[in-house]
Amino acid sequence: MVSLAASAVATTATNAGAAASERLPEPLARIARQLSVPTTGVSLLVQGIGDPAPRFAYRADVPRNPASTLKLVTTFAALERLGPSHVWTTEVHAARVPDADDTVGDLFIRGGGDPYLVQEEFWKLLAALRHRGIRRIEGDLVFDLSRFDLPIESRGAFDGQPDRVYNVLPHALLVNFNAVSFRVEALPDGLTRVTADPPLPNLVVRNRLRSVPGGCGGYQLGIGISIQDAAERNLAALDGRFPAACGEHELARSVLTPETYAHGLFELYWRQLGGEFSGGWRLGAVPPGSTPVHVHRSPPLGDVIRLVNKFSNNVMTRQLEYALAIEEFGIPATPEKGERALLGALASRGVDTQGLVIGNSAGLARETRITARQLAAVLEAAWNSPWMSEYVSSLALAGLDGTMRNRLRGAPAAGRLHVKTGRLNGVSAVAGYVDAASGQRLLVVLLVNAEQAHLGPGEELQNAFLDWVYRAH
């Protein structure tokens, strides 16, 4: 409970000269005992900005799974190597110039790994093509994915949930995070209405969901979704018993392949823009020597990392890794190049990478390992970077936005903590920067690997830790 955490830490101060400790600070140890969190699974570090050594460190050299706090590593490396003004490009080429009827043949789209090619950006891309005199496309969409060379992965390999948007895989032409939002509305007489956004023409939505009396609650609010796909016909079937008291509910799922999704959204928007297209899609290469009809540019990296860190977007993070791979080692991007680029960026700024296991640059992996001291070194290097302001402002503000929007609201520390949180089964983590009540600025890391860490106890210990740092330093 937050009130317990706040009262437990409010009266305790820490010695600013403290070094490594064999015990947790007593207020945190007491809360860990009350929450049945074994202290052997806890690592933490607190260091003043500019101080030569930590003020407090506990098990700071034990490798832990950091969950999504690993995004601090990836976004730092991206800023260091690419710079905040870096943009991604998506090229469109036509097999021939538009004729007198504004008609072209095949249309080639070369994916550049844009991490933020969302609906609005994709619409802008198509609108630009219309403005360049293309109205009718007689051929197919040809997707050139040659900038990425990635192994085939199962979307459900991590947790057996392949349709969850946090499991979307990186892709050279990732459109709108490959996500469809299903909006469920309870209607009278046990009926429901389900609408999909975007309403892709190549996705069939079958609604067998019933509304039932009772309170609003239960697993997924009683909504079940099954996905069937066969070539160009894709079906999302919703069934179950949706509590009428819920009124409306939205849930996002990844239900199509990236290529089928891009084809469907292209067809939808092209018709809305007054264009004609009835072709399919296939993979292929842009003809050698071809000049792009249009080049779409993404928002700059400095804006992109705010979305990555504040809202913990997994696939965007992995897209950053492959941009690094191309920058450092050339086309095509591969996982091996990506990991080498990440570790190289850290080492170049003096971060000890010995024993650091990336696994997945978004932190969505069981094998990922980093120590609290290594993560603190990343935070320190970022603070001393020319891009410090972009980096710090990308983190969630306690009590105000991002993943910390509903945490510590109304507490004295609200708005004074820029942090990244992380959670997996058995993992709870938080790291970032604290403007303490004393006026001092601190970097902080808390990594908890324990059986119940991802449940209430992990978040409660995070709150206690952040409050202790804010008040006592």
Distances (CA, A) of 44 to 369, 413, 432: 15, 19, 12
Q: Are residues 226 and 355 in the same domain?
A: no
**What's the confidence (pLDDT) of residue 100?**
76
CATH of the domain at 290: 3.50.80.20
Domain final residue pick, 297, 323, 354: 297
Q: Are residues 340 and 382 in the same domain?
A: yes
Q: Which tens digit of pLDDT belongs to each residue from 311-351?
A: 999 999 999 999 999 999 999 999 999 999 999 999 999 99
Residue 406 domain-assigned (yes or no): yes
What is the percent of the chain with per-residue pLDDT over 70, rounded to a whole number? Answer: 95
Average pLDDT estimate for 446-459 = 91
Q: Are residues 203 and 275 in the same domain?
A: no
Residue 287 domain-assigned (yes or no): yes
Q: Are residues 190 and 278 in the same domain?
A: no
Residue 17 reports pLDDT greater than 80: no
Specify the range with the lowest mean pLDDT, choosing from 20-24, 67-71, 143-147, 167-171: 20-24
Most confident of 293-297, 454-458, 460-464: 293-297
User: Which residues make Cβ contacts (< 8 Å) with residue 131, sequence separation at least 6?
Assistant: none
**What's the confidence (pLDDT) of residue 19?**
56
Q: Are residues 264 and 282 in the same domain?
A: yes
Q: Are residues 132 and 239 in the same domain?
A: no
**What's the confidence (pLDDT) of residue 3?**
40
In which residue are the tokens 């990425």 written?
148
Question: Cβ distance 417 to 466 under 8 Å?
Answer: yes
Provide the mean pLDDT of the chain.
93
Residue 168 domain-assigned (yes or no): no
Q: Are residues 262 and 401 in the same domain?
A: no
Residue 233 domain-assigned (yes or no): yes
Residue 377 reports pLDDT greater than 60: yes
Average pLDDT estimate for 67-80 = 99
Specify the range with the lowest mean pLDDT, choosing from 99-113, 164-178, 230-244: 230-244
Q: Are residues 262 and 405 in the same domain?
A: no
Average pLDDT estimate for 63-83 = 99
Residue 175 domain-assigned (yes or no): no
Residue 2 reports pLDDT greater than 90: no
Q: Are residues 319 and 414 in the same domain?
A: yes
CATH of the domain at 426: 3.40.710.10
Residue 165 domain-assigned (yes or no): no
Q: Are residues 138 and 228 in the same domain?
A: no
Residue 159 domain-assigned (yes or no): no
Domain total of the chain = 3
Distances (CA, A) of 364 to 3, 52, 165, 176: 31, 32, 12, 20
Q: Are residues 55 and 136 in the same domain?
A: no
pTM for the model stands at 0.92
**What's the confidence (pLDDT) of residue 20?**
66
Q: Are residues 74 and 16 in the same domain?
A: yes
Residue 169 domain-assigned (yes or no): no
Average pLDDT estimate for 73-102 = 94
DSSP letter assigned to residue 114: -
Domain limits for position 216: 180-253
DSSP string, 246-261: G-EEEEEE--S-HHHH
Beta strand extents in 213-297 (DSSP E only): 223-230, 233-243, 248-253, 276-277, 281-283, 294-297
User: How is the chain split among helix, strand and coil, in percent rounded to 5?
Assistant: 35, 25, 40
Q: Which tens digit of pLDDT belongs to each residue from 181-195?
A: 999 999 999 999 999
